[in-house]
Each structure stands twice: as C-alpha cells, then as structure tokens.
C-alpha cells in the first residue's frame, strides 16, 4: 500500500515538474506586437523592456512575462489615433486613453480582465466592442460621438458611467445596470429618464438635455448629488422625499414652486437660477444650506432665509427692493459672498448691523438707485466690492476697507477718489464713466494690475507711471495727448487709449510684453515703432486718415490689415471707393491714374468704415519733375513697396512690414459708443 502511494506521489511530482517547465518556457517565450500608430508604438517601446524593435514595421518583440505584467496603460494626451496592438495585452485591467483621436475600439473587445476604461475626448462612435467585457466597473466615454449605448445592457456590474457630451437620445439599454452609483448624461439629446426607475444612483448628472419629467428618480433615496440644469423641468415634486440630497442644481428650467424642497434638510448647495420662482418660504427649513443661487427669478422677499447660516448667497436680477432681511439675520455673521446686483435696491443701511463679519465679496451692481454707501464702512474684511451703474457720488466710506483687492465703481457720479489713497492691496480698479479729473490718489499703488478710467476727462494720467505692476490699462476717451508715462510700465499687456488726441506712440517701444493695443480715433503720426514690438498680437487703429507720398502703386493689404496675423482680412474690394485710381482685379492693388492729382482710397463699409488713405504725388506739388525723374520716383516706389514704404498721417515717415500694421490694424468701426457699451458689460 505504501509503495503504491509513493508511486502516485512520484507520478504527480513528474507531472508538476513538467507543467512548471512548460510554464517557465512560456514565460520566456518571445511575443511580437505590431502597431499601426507611431505614438502608441513609441510609448510602449520606451516604457517596457524590449527583446527587439523594428521601426519599419512598427513591431515590438517582448517576453511574454513582460506583456503579462502590464495591467495598466496610461496613455492620456499622447496623440494616439489607433490602438491596434493592445489586444495582445490580455491582463490589462485599467486603460487611460483620454484626449486622443481614437475612433475604433475593436482591439479591446477580448480584453476580458478590463475593469476600468477612460477614453473621454476622442472620436468614438461605436462602442459595441464593449458588450462582452462584463467585468467592467468604470466606463468614462465623455465627449465622443456616441449615439447608441445598447451594448452596455450586458455589463450588469457597472458602477460608474460617464457618457456626457455625446449624441445619445435613448438610455433604455442601461435599465438593467442596476449597480450604477455614478451616472453622468450631461449634454446629450435625452428626453426621458424612465430607464433609471429601478436604479439606486448616488450621483446623477442629466444637465443640458430636454428632460421634463423626473418622476423616475422619486425612489432614489440614496441620491446625494442631482444636477439637472438646462432642461424643461416644471415639477420637482419627485424630489420631495430624497432626504439625503446634499447638492441640487436646477438652473434654467421652468420651475415656479419650490415647496417640495422643504424636507431636504441635508442640502448644502442649491442652485435655482433662471426659473420663474417668486416665493422661497420652503427654503427656511434647510438648516445646512451654505451655498444658494437664486439669480434671474422673480423673488421680492429674502426674509425666509433669515434663520439660515448661508455662506454664499447669489440673488442677482430679481425684484428685490430692500435688504431688510439682513436685520437680525444669522447670515450677517456667516455671509462670505452677497450678490444682489440687478435689483431695485435703494438703501443698504442694514449692512451696518452686527460686526464686520466674514463678508469678503459684495456685489450691488446695476441697482441704479443706490446713492449712499456709508453702511459698508465697517465691512473691513471685504476683498471685492462691485457697485457698478448706481448713483453714487461719495465714496469716502471706502477708505477703511484696507483689505480690498477689487473695486468696480463704473458708471456712477463720482468726482473725488481721495478715499482710495490708502488701499494698498488693490489689484483691480474700475472707474469707467464717472466724472473724475484727478488721479493723484492712485500714485504709488504698486499692487494695481488692472485699471480703467475710460470716459473720464483726465487730460494728464502720468501719475499712473508709478503703478509699475499694471498689466491692463483702459484710458480711452479721456482727452490725453501724451502716453510717455507708459515707458515706466514694463508689465503692460493690454493698453487701450482709443478716442484721444495722441500723435506720438513711440513710448510703446518700451513695452516688451505688450500684446494688445487699441488706438482707434487718435492722431497718430508714425506707427513704425510697432514693428519693433514682437509681442503685439492685436492692434486696432480705425477711423484714421493716412497719407502715402511719392507712390504710383500701393498694395492695400499692406495698409488695411486687421492685425499682425497673416490670415487677417482687411477689407472687401466692393466696399472701396477710389478717386483718381484703379483697383486691380484681385482687389489688392491701387494704381494712380493722374500723377498730378491726389488719389483717395476710402473704406465705405464693414469694420473699416470711415478710414481713408491719401496717395500724394510730389510731382503735382513741385510741378518741375521731368519724365526721367518721374521714372526714378516710380522705380523707387516700386523698390520700396515691400521694404521701406513711407506712410504718414501728417507727412512723417512710416516704414516696415507693419506700416502697414498700424495703418493697419484697423478694427473696431463700431465706434466709441459700441465700445463703451462693451466695457460697461465687461466691468
């Protein structure tokens, strides 16, 4: 008996040795993988140990043991368009190919060990290769071209699915995927979410679709995050029992009644902007609410919020006339952000209640009735204060707000800004459209990075030369005639001095970081300096009258260009009016007809409407030129056409390829009123 047992053990040992030897042999076998995408080929090539590399056929030979060890591929943003070759990596569990150009995922169809797929931001339309990958737990395929997700119905253990920004209209296929906890369907063409009825989702995103009925989620009692902005929802009754809700976004729907939110006492973040809500009494029970957005509704009374400790409150563009709700409110001590812009508030005296609190950002733009802001003098923690488009004259109460980093006071009736003198943390100051004549209080504000004095009548703004950190300066329509002060502003990126009386722009030469300059409606004499500022990308100089002397032919694209971009279109030949000249067939060249007369080129439409070019001929002026002299002049003009073309606004020289750019750079024919309107909205 013992002998027989020993024999059996001996046989088993031999078998085990045999299989072990074969396994070792298998591990040491060489496997060749052929790729079709060079970027994929190179990323694998330099990430793992190779036996051999054939660049001609894009083939890699590796030991099987090396290939079997690959369980994760990190290939985000590698410029890959074809994943052929991945099929040999059968032990893969996680693949990351986001931000590539992949359209075909067929090579992964047999990778049965896959649990995680990240392939967002590609051009995938067919996901049928996923249908047999039943071990998948996470699929991230946002921003592709997917319209059919029926192949997902067999992946029963799926926990996380993100297919946002695709072309999906039907989600019935996922109704069997009851294990899903995280589902993102934003930005598709979905009209119904009935397929979600029997799920138990925790985080659900269905924003930017055409959904009107959300009753399918009425029993999703574990739902914590629900974002359904930009849909057609009118009734939110299905949410009434979802007491675990913490974050709720319902912006841009058709909601009028929010009473069904009264039981959702765990909500921390609530957004209800752009609906038709007039009463918010139901919100008074939401004791954990910290972040509330009610913008663009029809709310008149915010008093139901009195007992809440809200931190950020946005209620702009409603019908609120008073801030009495703040009196004795808990919010006075908790508010960090208060936005009541675009209402009809006249008095803000209730801001004086309590101590200075935690208020850091206060937005009261576009109320139009506010005159007195003395009540903010004790809000010493304020960092951002916006009071645009009101009737404020006196800003002396601001002097104590020494933590301010941003002030917007545009379009008021302010004359005196002495109170700004000690605000040494200020980074952004917007004073557009006031009645300010003296900027001396701004002297030495070394922290100031952005300043707008547009539309104030300040003939001398040289005091700003001490604000050496300035990056954005808007000084249009102020009446200045000198910009020499900018030589001391080396960090200037954007300089707007439209609609002034500036003739000399040579100080711009010192601005080596200048990227954008707007100089429309000035009296610029010489723009050749712009050719020496390589950082410039945008220049505008419309409503100018330029002069070229001693030319018989002029290439218009060298004059009327939009910017330094080679692809900029300057004008349309059908919008050009020429006196004493002929336009070439392609609309690029003007030839002088009578050399004894001036040639006038006028732009009559489009973005360069009102700009003119005068070609003056010295022959007419001297009246002594011989034919030989004329020929030499023409020869010189021809030679200089692409080299040193002389252009001026008052007879001074203007050379170089950018002659060109200034004359150039003619944009913004919308005029000062359009620009001011733009600035008004911007600030």
User: Residue 608: pLDDT above 80?
Assistant: no
Q: What are the pLDDT digits (tens) for 268-315?
A: 999 999 999 999 999 999 999 999 999 999 999 999 999 999 999 999
Quote the CA–CA distance of 236 and 295 in Å, as a whole number.
Answer: 18
DSSP β-ladder status, 494-496 and 472-474: parallel
Q: What are the pLDDT digits (tens) for 506-560?
A: 999 999 999 999 988 888 776 667 767 888 888 777 776 666 676 777 766 545 5
Contact 333, 307 (CB under 8 A): no
**Given this model, what pLDDT does residue 449 score?**
98
**Given this model, what pLDDT does residue 480 score?**
96
Mean pLDDT of the region 312-324: 96
Q: Which of 386, 421, 387 is nearest to 402 (CA)?
A: 421
Question: Domains of the chain, with CATH numbers?
Answer: 28-189 (3.80.10.10), 539-667 (no CATH)
Q: Which of 448, 442, 391, 453 is nearest to 425 (CA)?
A: 448
Cα→Cα distances 607→477, 519, 537, 571, 675, Å: 20, 15, 18, 8, 13
Query: What's the token pair of residue 166?
Result: 């695709």
User: Residue 679: pLDDT above 50?
Assistant: no
User: Residue 393: pLDDT above 50?
Assistant: yes
Mean pLDDT of the region 651-680: 37
**Given this model, what pLDDT does residue 136 score?**
98
Mean pLDDT of the region 569-584: 68
Percent of the chain scoring above 90 in pLDDT: 66
| Angle, CA 256 vertex, CA 255 and CA 261 arms, to 5° | 75
What is the side-by-side strand order in the sheet with 59-63? 30-34, 59-63, 52-54
Q: What is the 3-state secondary structure (H, E, C) of 579-648?
A: ECEEECCCCCEEEECCCCCCEEEEECCHHHCCCEEEEECHHHHHCCCCHHHHHHHHHHHHHHCCCCCCEE
Confidence band, pLDDT 50/70/90 cuts, at residue 351: confident
User: Residue 110: pLDDT above 90?
Assistant: yes
Question: pTM here?
Answer: 0.80
User: Residue 128: pLDDT above 50?
Assistant: yes
Quote the CA–CA distance of 289 and 301 in Å, as a whole number.
Answer: 18
Mean pLDDT of the region 367-391: 93
Lowest mean pLDDT segment, chosen from 12-21, 116-125, 649-658: 649-658
């Amino acid at each position: 008996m013992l002998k027989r047992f020993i024999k059996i053990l001996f046989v088993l040992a031999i078998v085990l040795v045999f299989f072990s030897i074969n396994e070792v042999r298998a591990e040491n076998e060489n496997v060749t993988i052929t790729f079709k995408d060079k970027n994929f080929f190179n990323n694998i090539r330099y990430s793992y140990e190779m036996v051999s590399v054939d660049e001609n056929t894009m083939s890699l030979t590796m030991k099987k043991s090396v290939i079997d060890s690959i369980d994760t591929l990190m290939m985000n943003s590698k410029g890959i368009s074809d994943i052929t070759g991945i099929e040999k990596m059968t032990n893969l569990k996680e693949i990351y190919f986001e931000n590539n150009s992949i359209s075909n995922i067929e090579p992964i169809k047999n990778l049965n060990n896959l649990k995680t797929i990240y392939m967002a931001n590609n051009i995938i339309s067919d996901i049928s290769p996923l249908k047999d990958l039943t071990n998948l737990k996470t699929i991230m395929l946002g921003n592709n071209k997917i319209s059919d997700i029926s192949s997902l119905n067999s992946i029963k253990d799926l926990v996380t699915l993100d297919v946002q920004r695709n072309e999906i209209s039907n989600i019935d296929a996922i109704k069997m995927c009851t294990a899903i906890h995280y589902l993102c369907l934003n930005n598709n063409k979905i009209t119904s979410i009935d397929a979600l009825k029997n799920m138990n989702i925790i985080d659900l995103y269905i924003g930017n679709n055409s959904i009107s009925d959300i009753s399918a989620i009425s029993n999703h009692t574990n739902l914590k995050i629900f974002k359904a902005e930009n849909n057609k929802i009118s009734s939110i009754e299905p949410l009434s029992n979802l007491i675990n809700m913490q974050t709720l976004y319902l912006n841009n729907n058709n909601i009028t009644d929010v009473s069904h939110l009264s039981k959702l006492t765990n909500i921390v973040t609530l957004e209800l902007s752009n609906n038709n809500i007039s009463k918010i009494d139901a919100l008074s029970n939401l004791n954990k609410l910290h972040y509330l957005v009610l913008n663009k509704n029809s709310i008149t009374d915010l008093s139901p919020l009195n007992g809440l400790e809200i931190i950020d409150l946005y209620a702009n563009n409603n019908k609120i006339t008073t801030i009495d709700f703040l009196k004795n409110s808990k919010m006075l001590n908790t508010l960090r952000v208060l936005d009541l812009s675009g209402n009809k508030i006249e008095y803000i005296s209730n801001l004086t209640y309590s101590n200075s609190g935690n208020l850091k950002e206060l937005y009261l733009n576009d109320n139009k009735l506010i005159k007195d802001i003395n009540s903010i003098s004790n809000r010493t923690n304020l960092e951002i204060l916006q009071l645009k488009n009101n009737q404020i004259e006196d800003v002396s109460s601001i002097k104590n707000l020494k933590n301010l980093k941003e002030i917007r006071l545009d379009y008021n009736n302010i004359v005196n800004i002495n109170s700004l003198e000690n605000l040494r943390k200020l980074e952004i100051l917007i004073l557009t459209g006031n009645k300010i004549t003296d900027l001396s209080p701004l002297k030495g504000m070394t922290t100031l990075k952005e300043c707008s004095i547009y539309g104030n009548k300040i003939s001398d703004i040289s005091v700003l030369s001490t604000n050496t950190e300035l990056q954005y300066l808007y000084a249009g329509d102020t009446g200045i005639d000198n910009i020499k002060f900018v030589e001391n502003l080396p960090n200037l990126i954007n300089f707007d001095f439209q609609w002034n009386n500036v003739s000399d722009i040579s100080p711009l030469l010192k601005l080596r970081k200048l990227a954008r300059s707007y100089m429309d409606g000035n009296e610029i004499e010489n723009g050749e300096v712009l050719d020496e500022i390589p950082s410039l990308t945008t220049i505008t100089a419309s409503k100018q009258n330029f002069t070229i002397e001693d030319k018989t032919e002029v290439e218009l694209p060298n004059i009327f260009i939009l910017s330094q971009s080679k692809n900029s279109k300057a004008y349309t030949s059908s919008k050009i009016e020429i006196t004493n000249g002929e336009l070439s067939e392609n609309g690029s060249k003007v030839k002088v007809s009578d050399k004894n007369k001036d040639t006038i080129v006028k732009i009559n439409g489009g973005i360069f409407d009102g700009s003119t070019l005068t070609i003056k001929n010295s022959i007419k002026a001297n009246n002594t030129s011989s034919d030989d002299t004329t020929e030499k002049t023409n020869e010189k003009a021809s030679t200089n056409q692409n080299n040193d073309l002389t252009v001026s606004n008052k007879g001074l020289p203007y050379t170089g390829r950018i002659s060109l750019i200034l004359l150039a750079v003619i944009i913004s024919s919308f005029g000062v009123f359009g620009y001011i309107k733009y600035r008004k909205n911007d600030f």
